[in-house]
Structure 1
């Protein structure tokens, strides 16, 4: 592990829920989604992430870029919501969170990975959302992070960081992960509630799109795969397309003992 993944974070496989677009015939030059943000209370040695990611390459040398929001007391010293990023160009053998290693090039004057998100949603009430876009430029093949409405360009990951993300990505996914503490207990994810069909009850990702070679947005293909942690502390529902939400998913849960593995 690189210095960007400190001993602070237990090296335990997290409990993951996700919707992945596995149609590798569609080379993906980015991804987009809008996610709502909730306050969470978690233990010092836990972490709860809510994000989208793109990836390519063999499992042992996986290239990945991740962006979203998370709560991680070990990483930030508090239990507040943060905009976060992560990358690896070698199957977690390198890379880091946010700007903990020389990699991400910031261009925005004040917003950077690790930025504090002050406002949060209310269960059954007003929802606070952020839009997230990762896209590859056609000139230098760098991967850019854009956040918010209107979109604010935060910075980019140079293409030289990656071997298998030089010309697009094979897979994109949206979802979350709960990092268990040393006692094997996973934290709450999202609002702390499992999805029930109400967009103001559980965390969602809406307006899901991947970006094609022309820069156009495309909805997830028919080759999507849903993954839900086998310990049953979280859930994910893929609601597909609606007029108000576009293609959307809802996910999360209260947490609990989560060393039960994965269901694909």
Structure 2
């Protein structure tokens, strides 16, 4: 692990954003969204992706390519805002660089590329990025600059969650706990997590899809990060009381991301777009 971290540092990578929601989280967001696409939008999504391809199956593709063939997309997965701030400064927090700018900018670009590009490969890739990055912007620690987004905050996981048994390897970091540990300590399969949300949170919060501004999503997640990071320092032990506080927020953020991703795609793809002439 030390060798991997050192290599990332040599490459100029901020370790905070080495990971996003785990594969489970991104699959949950994508599945929630796909179930809510209009018939017209679903047909267009399948056309763009190349047939009977589920959104969940491509939801983590963006993570696979950013450290390999597409390093210029690395910064698209997060927005580094100081924890004490409550506003977003695109000049300092979304500046262009060899690793890209930030997730907010990519969501804005994706609208034009998905709806208006004449290149089917660009449309496909932009859709895959969108599916992933909408999820990323709802993970609270993907909006935090300090401590490399919580990756430098080493903690010990002692909560069992709904699984009842704590992880066999309790050593972790705060960012990773929010990426995947809470989800994995809740259900054994991401499909079961979707079922939980369908039977509870999603029924109660249809209004979440009314907010379709990626800057608003980011600041909303950032406000949550302030709360769940409070009092957490190196070597803090996270017990069941922390899990009980965190789980409703994870449910909320996964649910919001899925509803909003569906709403964005329905808005963009359900009718013929008004694209500028080439």
TM-score, L = length of structure 2: 0.29
Q: Which structure: larger Rg?
A: 2
Point out the structure with the larger strand share: 1
TM-score, L = length of structure 1: 0.30
Point out the structure with the larger helix share: 2
